[in-house]
Amino acid sequence: MDNFVVGNGIVLDGMNTFVENGAVFISDGKIEKIGSFEKSRFPDVDFIDVGGRLIMPGFLNPHHHLYSSLAVGLAPACDVDNFVNLLKSLWWKLDASLDEESVYVSAMVGIIDSVKHGVTAIFDHHASMNFVRGSLNTISKAFEIAGIKGLLCFETSDRMGIADAERHIEENIDFFERHRNNRNIKGAFGMHANFTLSEETLNKISDRKPEDMPIHIHCGEDLYDFQYCREFGYSGPVDRLDRYELIDDKSILAHAIHLSERDYDIIGEKRPIVVSNPESNANNRVGKIDRDRIKNFILGTDGMSGDMIATLRSFYLLHGGIDEDFSEMQKSFFAQRYLVQRKFFSETGEFREGMDADVVVVDYVPATEISPENVMGHLIFGAKSSKAYLTISNGKIIYQDGKITFIDEDDFIAEARKIAKKLWERYSSQPAIQF
């Protein structure tokens, strides 16, 4: 269907659009019109009746690790007593075990999960240390098949040796240049974290990264990252990156927990994109973002899931709970997210005529009154972790009636299990990464 109406639902974007008995008219991949259910029901256009559910702009996951999708059920190789040892005994072993086949399947499994939860754009932070060159193209194929938007990068790191980081640098820059003019797939410069990047490698990145290429990095996630930067004479992890001229308003800083006063000042001055990942932070016991110091941030999952509503609920429960200011949460979940999306995909964000038709219908019918003022309460306590009822990307229906439309999911998952088994076997024989 090139032209159709999604209606008989509550149309909202957390900003200026709220139509309680509304509809969205989609034409040639764009939002043609937003209005009341009755006025938008054109007799000659296909109509999808959503039965009173919430019709919202598609969700963004601004910090994901799709390569972790085949790690569900996988245990660390040994007991872990701190964050760095967890990386060595699980995640670095996993990413060293990935090959081209498992990279593609991991990406597709993660995308399917995300689409089922209404995500239409993902900023993915990838690592596969023994399959570097061509890895981002492999991932992009899964995005193209699904028809969703992606900002992709490879996490540059010295953990396999300074010489090996050269391949990471090349992969990032090559992918970015090849996708400059792509509407749906773009590149960023991925960096793991300060503590796995030497001064030599940071110099190379600073010298060779195109000026308009944004970075995407774990920044101050664990105290070790902060202490590492201090040992080199920097105030903190943001200060170190800024000294190499790597911080601007499109830089993506995931976590931003363990920071110095100077780090906070730089964030205030240069306004990078800060992504808080509440479920991952809790799982890894690394702490919480200081919301008194960082007012503008958005929510990501750090590979924990593709469910942004569940992430919102976790943020509420793990932070202020009953003391939370819903207006501040609404700003982060809606307004701030739209600003970030438009930095990379200019025709996405809140509902407006002419914008890309990236739409999610949340599988939730409110049993109580809903208004612009209590939307967050409905998402956190009503929708909770509901899957989508309908997901539309660029005007194409990619999930409907519990079924993915762009791939035979049953056949794919059966094949994915075989590939995951081979990956786990390689993982079992892969020694822990010593760094």
The string of pLDDT tens digits covering residues 61-91 is 999 999 999 999 987 767 778 888 888 888 9
191 vs 178: CA distance, rounded Å = 19
Helix (H) or strand (E) holding 113: helix 100-116
Nearest to 389 by CA among 378, 380, 402: 402
What CATH code would you report for 62-344? 3.20.20.140
371-385: pLDDT as tens digits: 999 999 999 999 987
Provide the pairing of β-strand 359-362 with 388-393. antiparallel
40-58: pLDDT as tens digits: 666 788 999 999 999 999 9
Helix ranges (DSSP H) in 190-296: 199-208, 223-231, 237-243, 261-270, 278-284
Provide the pairing of β-strand 396-400 with 403-404. antiparallel
Are residues 263 and 238 in contact, defined by beta-carbon separation less than 8 angstroms? Answer: yes
293 vs 220: CA distance, rounded Å = 14
268-302: pLDDT as tens digits: 999 999 999 999 999 999 999 999 999 999 999 99
- Please state the φ and ψ torsions of residue 6, each to the nearest 5 degrees: -110, 115
- Please state the φ and ψ torsions of residue 39, each to the nearest 5 degrees: -70, -25
Are residues 419 and 102 in contact, defined by beta-carbon separation less than 8 angstroms? Answer: yes
113 vs 50: CA distance, rounded Å = 21
Q: Report how far apart, in Å, the C-alpha atoms of 287 and of each of 87, 159, 235, 311 are.
A: 17, 24, 19, 16
332 vs 327: CA distance, rounded Å = 9
309-357: pLDDT as tens digits: 999 999 999 987 888 888 889 999 999 999 999 999 999 999 999 999 9
- Crossing angle of helices 135-146/165-178, nearest 10°? 40
Identify the sign of the CA torsion 387, 389, 394, 397.
positive
Helix ranges (DSSP H) in 117-155: 135-146
Q: pTM for this one?
A: 0.97
Domain ranges of the chain: 62-344
Are residues 383 and 84 in contact, defined by beta-carbon separation less than 8 angstroms? Answer: no
101-127: pLDDT as tens digits: 999 999 999 999 999 999 999 999 999
Q: Is the pLDDT of residue 192 over 70?
A: yes
Are residues 17 and 355 in contact, defined by beta-carbon separation less than 8 angstroms? Answer: no
